[in-house]
A and B are shown apart, each in its own frame.
Chain A
Amino acid sequence: MASALVLALSSPAMAQTEPEHTDPIVINGGEVEMQTAVPAPDHLEGAFDQIYSGWLFRDTETQAMQLDDFENPGLIFVDQGIDDWNTVEGEAGKSCASCHEGIESMEGLRAEVPKVNAEGELWAMEDYINDCRTNRMQAEALDWNGGRMKNLTAAISMQSRGMPMNVAIDGPAQPYWEQGKEMYYTRFGQLELACANCHEDHYGDWIRADHLSQGMTNGFPVYRLKQAALVSQHNRFRGCIRDTRAETFAMGTDEFRALELYVASRGNGLPVEGVSVRH
């Protein structure tokens, strides 16, 4: 009797409360329209049928800020990033524009990073930017979490706004993807919580005042109202792991590149939001 009771209660409580509506994100009265719910990629079979933008889980005021480019505080940083794109710096006397011309040339990139480079290493957008800065401009590398880096990644991401996330997970990317997947299901820290506990088993639930999303990255860099700043993916990962009372990984480490790839692949099919607004 006692054992039957324990058994019946021992299946993990998995709520997965679906969003009440899945309205698209319609920006500037119709200029850009982005789906917020799309079928899950094949590799998530058994976990999700549908994948959702984190936008759906935010309150209406926060949502509204992303619907108008004049209201979206992240767009100021996009403009600053474009200025930086055109600024000559370093011994080679070049700007990004000297080689790449207009920033529109970066269209499509955000949907495909992180990706494996010619040397077989997994690189995030930040790595490509710093490679050009150090090797092609003879300028200093930018700090992963610094304002200039975030502004540039925001400006480059905007060029892919609306394009579906489509990171490669096979071929040379596969070992990195496996590593990231392993991390996603590892229960870190004294609270013994994995990404999957919160973002797979319990999206739609409330963890006190926080409404859990599926933890997608298609909106990054995110303008976060709580921090009043752009937040990079690695910074978000660091915060989520710290909250499990764990020793986190540093931003720009191989572990976070692998996790970035795996989390991005969970969102394959969701549109790049350019710079999203979250609270």
Chain B
Amino acid sequence: LALASAMPLAADTAPQDVAFGEYGSIETPLSDTAGDPEKGAEIYADKGSGNCVACHAISDRSDAEFQGTIGPALDGAGDRWDEAQLRGIVADAKKTFPESMMPGFYKTSGFIRPGDAFTGDAGSEPLPPLLTAQQVEDVIAYLATLKE
């Protein structure tokens, strides 16, 4: 099931076809269906998909037992960035923040020793993206609700 959900749908923009703007943003949604903020909130904290909470904290997310301190707190992220910028940050943060520690969630090739998920074995590129096009849209719909 996990594998099936990572398969790109025909209507989605494939990872290699994503067009980034000069400062790393992505204007066009990656899927046809609008993002669902509730699903995005789940993906944000889900260890098996987004796991954004490993590195970030959001003050009203007391449902996530441990929140990370690697990246900035995301309270107010929806004020600081528009959707195109958020889409770019989630898809490939290094286009916005060069050298960032944040992984690219819609990136499938160009890795050093790419692995097969967490097995430690070799994987072959293109790897399935960490999030599907729809999941990226869901997450940015959620981030857009984070206003101060």
Q: A residues near B, CB below 8 A?
A: 2-3, 6, 9-10, 12-13, 15, 17, 186-193, 197, 201-202, 205-209, 238, 241-248
Q: Is the CB of A13 within 8 A of B70?
A: yes
Q: B residues near A, CB below 8 A?
A: 23-24, 51, 53-55, 65-72, 94, 96-101, 103-104, 107, 111-123, 127, 130
A191 neighbours in B (Cβ, 8 Å): 103
Query: How far, in angstroms, from A9 to B66 measured CA to CA in the complex?
Result: 25
Q: Is the CB of A190 within 8 A of B97?
A: no
A3 neighbours in B (Cβ, 8 Å): 23
B114 neighbours in A (Cβ, 8 Å): 189-190, 245-247
Query: How far, in angstroms, from A241 to B114 measured CA to CA in the complex?
Result: 11
Cβ-neighbour of A245 out of B24, B99, B117 (below 8 A)? B117
Q: Can you list 15 A-B contacts (CB < 8 A)?
A: A2-B23, A12-B99, A13-B70, A188-B112, A189-B114, A189-B115, A192-B94, A193-B101, A197-B101, A207-B68, A208-B53, A208-B68, A209-B66, A241-B113, A248-B120
Query: How far, in angstroms, from A191 to B54 measured CA to CA in the complex?
Result: 13
**Interchain Cβ contacts within 8 Å, total number:** 105
Taking CB as reference atom, which chain B residue is nearest A191?
A: B103
B112 neighbours in A (Cβ, 8 Å): 186-189, 192, 246
9 shortest A-B CB distances, which residue pairs?
A: A242-B120, A247-B122, A209-B66, A208-B54, A248-B120, A246-B115, A191-B103, A247-B113, A246-B113
Query: How far, in angstroms, from A105 to B127 measured CA to CA in the complex?
Result: 51
Provide the main secondary structure of the chain B interface: loop
Q: Is the CB of A15 within 8 A of B70?
A: yes
Cβ-neighbour of A190 out of B66, B71, B111 (below 8 A)? B111
| Interchain nearest-CB distance for A134 vs B (Å) | 28
Q: Is the CB of A207 within 8 A of B97?
A: no
A193 neighbours in B (Cβ, 8 Å): 101, 103
Q: A207-B54, A247-B120, A247-B122 are in contact. Are A13 and B71 (CB under 8 A)?
A: yes
Taking CB as reference atom, which chain B residue is nearest A247?
A: B122
| Interchain nearest-CB distance for B88 vs A (Å) | 11
- Residue from the set B100, B101, B123, B127 with the largest chain A CB neighbour count within 10 Å: B101
Q: Is the CB of B103 within 8 A of A190?
A: yes
| Interchain nearest-CB distance for A92 vs B (Å) | 37
Cβ-neighbour of B97 out of A12, A15, A192, A248 (below 8 A)? A12
B111 neighbours in A (Cβ, 8 Å): 188-190, 192, 246
B101 neighbours in A (Cβ, 8 Å): 12-13, 193, 197, 201-202
| Interchain nearest-CB distance for B53 vs A (Å) | 6
A2 neighbours in B (Cβ, 8 Å): 23
A201 neighbours in B (Cβ, 8 Å): 101
| Interchain nearest-CB distance for A63 vs B (Å) | 19
| Interchain nearest-CB distance for A245 vs B (Å) | 5
Taking CB as reference atom, which chain B residue is nearest A202?
A: B70
Q: A242-B118, A245-B115, A246-B112 are in contact. Are A192 and B104 (CB under 8 A)?
A: yes
Query: How far, in angstroms, from A197 to B97 measured CA to CA in the complex?
Result: 15
| Interchain nearest-CB distance for B77 vs A (Å) | 12
Taking CB as reference atom, which chain B residue is nearest A187?
A: B112
- Residue from the set B24, B70, B72, B114 with the largest chain A CB neighbour count within 10 Å: B70
Query: How far, in angstroms, from A253 to B46 measured CA to CA in the complex?
Result: 35
B118 neighbours in A (Cβ, 8 Å): 242-243, 245
List 8 additional A-B contacts (Cβ < 8 Å) besides A6-B96, A205-B68, A247-B123.
Answer: A13-B71, A191-B103, A193-B101, A208-B66, A238-B120, A246-B114, A246-B120, A247-B120
A246 neighbours in B (Cβ, 8 Å): 111-115, 120
- Residue from the set B51, B55, B65 with the largest chain A CB neighbour count within 10 Å: B55
Q: Is the CB of B120 within 8 A of A241?
A: yes
Query: How far, in angstroms, from A242 to B119 measured CA to CA in the complex?
Result: 7
| Interchain nearest-CB distance for A112 vs B (Å) | 30
B70 neighbours in A (Cβ, 8 Å): 13, 15, 202, 205-207
